[in-house]
Amino acid sequence: MVHKLLLSVFLAFLCCSCKFNPRVDNTGDSTLQGIWDEDKKPFEEKLASVEKYKLKFICDSFYLDIKSHTRVNLDAGECYSRQEWSEYVKGTYVRKDDFLYLTGSFVNEHYRYKPQGSCYRFGKYEEKFLISQQGTDSLELRNTLTGITHLVILKQRVDCKNNQE
């Protein structure tokens, strides 16, 4: 009898204490909203390895395509034998002062889950960039860990409100 009473009280408490959180619309940084592409790196033809970024910022989310090319034999297995490959990341971003924080996960080319053991990097992605505005349609992103700079050009402006479901 006591068990039934305790179970009833517990279930009543559980049902009454749960409620949906209100929808939080985080529109992100309006100056970043859009598709940004890295065209050509300075001295690209002389570098042994190059990573080019294509970024898409929608509301508080980002989608990153990393195109890598190397002129050296990495001898790292069949994944790297072509000397050109692509990696994909999706996640959320925060712009605070002059810094851009990207937090996400490596995903497949359809921006879906990428299992461990598949080619290239997988798992968590966290990067911090020093961001410099080079004009209304270009940004310089300097990785604070590696010092590598990516100059990205705005290709298309995206409106966060029109992209929300």
What pLDDT shows up at residue 165? 45
Helix, strand or coil for residue 130? strand
The better pLDDT of the pair 60, 136 is held by: 60
The better pLDDT of the pair 133, 42 is held by: 133
| Measured distance CA(154)–CA(134) in Å, rounded | 11
| Measured distance CA(15)–CA(131) in Å, rounded | 47
Model confidence pLDDT, tens digit, residues 64-91: 999 988 887 666 667 767 788 899 999 9
Task: Select from 60, 68, 135, 154 the least CA-distant residue to 100.
Answer: 60
CA distances from 124 to 6, 33, 160 (A): 43, 23, 25
Spans of all domains in the chain: 27-159
Q: What's the whole-model pTM score?
A: 0.78
Domain 27-159: CATH class, spelled out = mainly beta
Are the beta carbons of 60 and 92 closer than 8 angstroms? yes
